């Protein structure tokens, strides 16, 4: 599991890799929330390196989404693999989250705001 951050034209892009499970989720949540705070409420979370996701990982993403929305910010989740996308659909979180296929599309959306 890893969380790394890069900056593209002033917007932070956080890359999460590994498994989003009950063991890793607290560390991922804390790391991403820290980047959200220091990034001024705009964040791209690249999930293309996530191999497996469990419900605890979904709760982590929901916590991050709510934290951003509470302060008027935006988090865009991108790059989720097909099964991850299916899990988001099953749990109806695809109707709640801002989701794009890749970081470039996410950055375009944030630039347009």
Instruction: Report the interface residues with other proteins, using CB under 8 A.
Output: 19, 21-23, 52-56, 58-59, 62-63, 66, 83, 86-87, 90-92, 96
Which CB, 13 or 53, lies closer to other proteins?
53
The residues near 42 (Cβ < 8 Å, ≥ 6 apart) are: 11, 12, 73, 74, 110, 113
What is the nearest approach in angstroms of other proteins to the Cβ of residue 63? Answer: 6
Query: How many C-beta atoms lie closer than 10 Å to residue 113's C-beta?
Result: 6
Question: Which phi and psi (to 5°) does residue 77 adopt?
Answer: -95, 135
What is the nearest approach in angstroms of other proteins to the Cβ of residue 56? Answer: 7
What is the nearest approach in angstroms of other proteins to the Cβ of residue 42? Answer: 21
Give me 96's structure tokens.
């709640």
Which CB, 7 or 72, lies closer to other proteins?
72
Place of tokens 């560390």: 27
Which CB, 88 or 107, lies closer to other proteins?
88
């Amino acid at each position: 599991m890893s969380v790394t951050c890069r900056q593209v034209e002033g917007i932070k892009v956080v890359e999460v890799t590994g498994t989003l499970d009950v063991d890793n989720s607290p560390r991922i949540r804390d790391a991403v929330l820290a980047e959200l705070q220091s990034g001024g409420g705009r964040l791209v979370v690249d999930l293309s390196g996530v191999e497996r996701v469990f419900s605890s990982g979904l709760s982590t993403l929901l916590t991050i989404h709510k934290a951003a929305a509470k302060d008027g910010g935006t988090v865009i989740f991108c790059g989720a693999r097909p099964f991850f996308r299916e899990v988001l659909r099953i749990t109806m979180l695809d109707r709640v989250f801002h989701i794009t296929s890749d970081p470039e599309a996410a950055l375009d959306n944030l630039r347009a705001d």
